[in-house]
Structures are given as structure tokens and as C-alpha cells.
Amino acid sequence: MRELFRISDQIETFRPGKLLCIGRNYAKHAKELGNEVPEDPMVFLKPASALIESGEEIVIPRASSDVHHEVELVCLIGKAGKDIPESKALEHIAGFAVGLDMTARDIQSKAKAKGHPWSVAKGYDTFAPLGEFAPPHALRHIQNTHIELQVNGETRQSGNTNEMIFSVAYLIHWCSSIFTLMPGDLLFTGTPEGVSQVHPGDQLVAKIEGLPSLTVGVRAA
């Protein structure tokens, strides 16, 4: 588990808080899973204990036989706020990183069929790999940036943040209307199409233009 975040070479550090994750924020991803495009952001939470760093391994839990990768742009909140105006939302970002929202799809499907929450399917230890944070200016075009994931050298996900249904600024505004955002909170902004299963021995490389890449392995529990 990551206990502190540092923004590149800056002295200031942040302790991880809430992991706010946005589901179905790319229309093609919603379609590939047979889901409707939401009218409002769909938010779920992950525990901070799910975080791992580049160079570590995702652990497939014994309870699941179908764990999927989901590459995402992640925002680190650096300034507290409640009911943040959309026009001021980006001022609350301390840094950006590339991350993965790992999902036990079989467990999630069973929960959805029963109308239960997704917390178990999303919250296992190691299910939130996160790359090194870069300062906000490193991401020159937040809503027009390439994002991709390679598995064993093969591109599985390739998209652009201009495909988001809800922009980063709107997500911060909307989430802050529900949760008071605090320094150290993380916002996972959704994944493009191409999610698929991972297997023990796989090597995942996640990339977002302008940000440090993220490399993680996969092993069975």
C-alpha cells in the first residue's frame, strides 16, 4: 500500500484519502459491457489499502477467476473543497497520474444481478495500481490526451480523454457536491473501451501522454 504521494521532485507530500472512482465515463466502454450511458456521474469507492506502486504486482484473489484491467487518468486533490464551482475545479488538483482500476468482473456481475454494491469486486488489495504523480502543468491538454494500456506488449486499451462523457472539471464539481474533497483524495476518471481479463505472469504497462508510465505484474494469490 502506498502511504505517501509526492509530486515529482516537489517537497510537499500527501497521504491517500478517499479513492473516488467513476464508472461508465466513456460511452464505448459502457457499450462493450452492455450498460447504459449514465445521465449523471456514477461514483463508487475503493479503499486506500488497494493502492500499489509501479513495479509491484496485482494479486488475483482466490475468490475470482475473471479479473479485468481498466486504465484511467487519476487526479490528486491538493486543496480541500465543498460545492466547488466547475470553473474553479482544476485549481484543486495537485497532480495527475496514470492508474488502473482492477475489477473482479465475475464478482461484480453477481453483485449487479442481486442489486448489491460493487465494493468487494473493486476493493481487493492491489486493485488500484498507481503511477508516479506529475504536476498539473505536465498534462497540457486534460481533455485531449492519449491513454493506453499494453498487456505483454500488446495494446489492449487505446483512447483519448476527449471521449469522456463527464469532464475532469465537472467530475470534481459534482463529487464535491456530495463529498467534501480533501488533500490526498484521488479521483479515478473512468476507462476507455478494451477492458479484458488478466492472468498470472502478465505484464501491464499503462501510459498517458505527458505522465510517468505505470508497470505492474500479475500473480495468483
Tell me the CA distances in angstroms from 154 to 43, 49, 100, 140, one per residue in order: 30, 29, 17, 27
Domain positions in the chain are: 5-220
pLDDT score of 27: 78
pLDDT score of 80: 98
In 3D space, the residue among 217, 1, 5, 3 whose CA is nearest the CA of residue 132 turns out to be 5
pLDDT score of 38: 79
Q: Which amino acid is residue 125, in one-letter code?
A: D
- Residue that has been written with the C-alpha cell 463529498 in this structure: 179
- Residue that has been written with the C-alpha cell 504486482 in this structure: 57
Q: Residue 77 is inside which H or E element, if any? A: strand 71-77
Contacts 24+ apart (CB under 8 A), 20-23: 20/45, 20/175, 20/179, 20/185, 20/186, 20/187, 20/188, 21/45, 21/46, 21/72, 21/101, 21/122, 21/188, 22/166, 22/171, 22/187, 22/188, 22/189, 22/190, 23/190
The CATH H-level superfamily of 5-220 is Fumarylacetoacetase-like, C-terminal domain (3.90.850.10)
pLDDT score of 179: 97
Per-10-residue mean pLDDT for the chain, 221 residues long? 72 89 84 75 96 97 98 97 98 97 96 93 98 94 97 97 96 98 97 96 97 98 97
pLDDT digits (tens, 9 = 90+) for 49-67: 999 999 999 999 999 999 9
Give the C-alpha separation, 131 to 216, whole Å. 10
Integer-rounded Cα radius of gyration of the chain: 16
- pTM (two decimals): 0.95
